[in-house]
Amino acid sequence: MDSASGASPPFVHFIRVGWGDCDPARIAFTGRLAAFALEAIDAWWEHVVGADWYRMNIDRGVGTPFVHMTMDFRSPVTPRHRLACEVGLLRLGGSSVRLGVRGRQDGKLCFEGEFVQALLRAPDYIKFEIPEDVLAKLRSAIVAVE
């Protein structure tokens, strides 16, 4: 997700990892890592598109259910550092988005993943025309994949 010169810097969402996120192996539980990546994507919507999933669904009528996720876990996550989650839009389809997330602690890659969300009409989740202003913001957010 490193971008070429001239492109906007990547969006990074910081997460405080705590005791309650960790399992008896003293590292963040796998299920929490998935939740962290999802939280980072929600924050990306808020920052880039101007509305998080809550506002997008309830205020704008755009449902954003996940249809796919894949994650590779590279290095343990602990409470000793903040978790920096870089999020980038990899692909914008007619009715879906593919996002990449990379979680780092102290500069070290801890996990990376790709997530696909369908974009449907809320609350009935049927196909529809994505509102033009949302589409415009998504278009401008596509990152150059390295």
Q: Which residues bind a copy of itself (CB under 8 A)?
A: 16, 18-20, 22-27, 29-32, 34-35, 38-39, 42-43, 52-55, 57-58, 63, 65-73, 76, 78-80, 122-123, 125
| Least gap, CB of 129 to a copy of itself (angstroms) | 20
Task: Say how far apart CA 84 and CA 130 lie, in whole Å.
Answer: 30
Q: Which is nearer to a copy of itself, 110 or 143 (CB)?
A: 110
Distance CA 107, CA 49 (A): 27
Token pair 């920052």 in the structure block, residue? 47
Helix (H/G/I), strand (E/B), else coil: 42? helix
Amino acid at 23: D
Q: Give min distance, CB of 26 to a copy of itself, in A.
A: 5
Q: How far is the CB of 74 from a copy of itself (least distance, A)?
A: 8
3 state SS of 145 = coil
Q: How far apart are CB 3 and a copy of itself at their closest, in Å?
A: 25
Contacts for 43 with CB less than 8 Å, ≥ 6 apart: 11, 13, 52, 87
